[in-house]
Amino acid sequence: MALTCACALPAAAGEAKRAPFGTLPDGRVVEEVTLSRGGLTARILTWGALLRSLDVPDRAGKATDVVLGYKDLAGYMKAPNYFGVSVGRYANRIRAGRFSLDGKEYTLARNDGPNALHGGREGFDKRLWTVTEVKDGAAPSVTLRYVSDDGEEGYPGTLTASVTYALDSDGTLTVEYRATTDKPTIVNLTNHSFFNLAGEDSGRMILDHVLTIPAERYTPVDETLIPTGEIAPVAGTPFDFRKATPIGARIREGRDPQILRGRGYDHNFVVTNAPTADAHLVARVEDPASGRVMEVASNQPGVQFYAGNFLDATAVGKSGLSYRQSDALALEPQVFPDTPNRPSFGTARLDPGATYRNVITYRFSAGRSGATK
């Protein structure tokens, strides 16, 4: 277990600051809310309810931004790449852009080859959210809200979604999604931040990052990255991260067809069989060079591990570096991909009177060089 760097957690109360960030082509103003607490600083935009930056101390107490993103709004307009965004109404993929609910078939935009991805062409990541609350104090936070109309991107029901970003004194960023609907629908919300614990400006890939995922099974995919329906054991495959393993150790294992289909890792890991009442660990990542450790927990049953395989050096980030393949990783807690078409995967259904909830915690610490679990 990594040793915590005590100097990274000052006792001062946190603060939240709100300021304009940019203007959309239609004249609407995009705001940025900056949260600071416990050695962490997070910057959240109302566009896509996205995490634009996250400063985290290393073992020496030096804070560095560890998420990919852009320095201005123009970057997010030109090449969004899902950097830091809140994705919905359904995160991940739905086969052929179709699903049935109560005997009625719904058709979605096919924005990922033959399939629907991350809510459609104009999903929640491409919407302006409204700030409903900003708090200073022991746990500085911001809450944002978006109302998705009945029929938007093909989904039934008016969905009222909210997300709260909060910082705690123990080095934890909590991102909590909630949603309600006025008629039966499906929902799967998550955060799509790309992390590089060496620093967004480091120029280093994440192949040396050491990853643990406490999952004995995963969902293999077909050539279009849609789950085949099988829930397969990770034992004896490149997908076995039950013990801490460098990401690059098996990412180019060309004898495994799943690695070839995803161009590396872009797969859902089965951590639990269904959502749980409390959050459970879904992944742990450590950068041995900086000592930064990130533990990700959620109440969701699956976590999509994506190793940035499709970053192609055409996006230039905040520090002026072009983002390349394996420059960052995403860990997205959620229900399984294509669940609406796979009853054996559980359910993504939300009915009136019920509240959808996905709470994600990212707990950061800094350990000694090479200290792994």
Q: Catalytic pick from 31, 176, 192, 267? A: 192
| Contact between 268 and 275 (Cβ < 8 Å) | no
Between CA 158 and CA 165, with CA 163 as vertex, the angle to 5 degrees is: 175
Instruction: Give 338's contacts (C-beta < 8 A, 6+ positions apart).
Output: 92, 93, 94, 95, 226, 227, 345
Annotated catalytic, 267? no
Tokens at 11, concatenated = 């006792």
Residue with the two structure tokens 């359910």: 347
How many angstroms from the chain centroid is the CA of residue 293?
A: 17
Annotated catalytic, 192? yes
Tokens at 246, concatenated = 């460098």
Query: Could you give the C-alpha distances from 8 to 11, 141, 361, 372, in angstroms and in order?
Result: 10, 20, 18, 19
Helix (H) or strand (E) holding 257: helix 257-262
8-state DSSP, 189? -
Tell me how far apart the alpha carbons of residues 170 and 258 are, in angstroms, rounded to a whole number: 38
| Contact between 196 and 327 (Cβ < 8 Å) | yes
User: What are the residue numbers of the active site?
Assistant: 192, 332
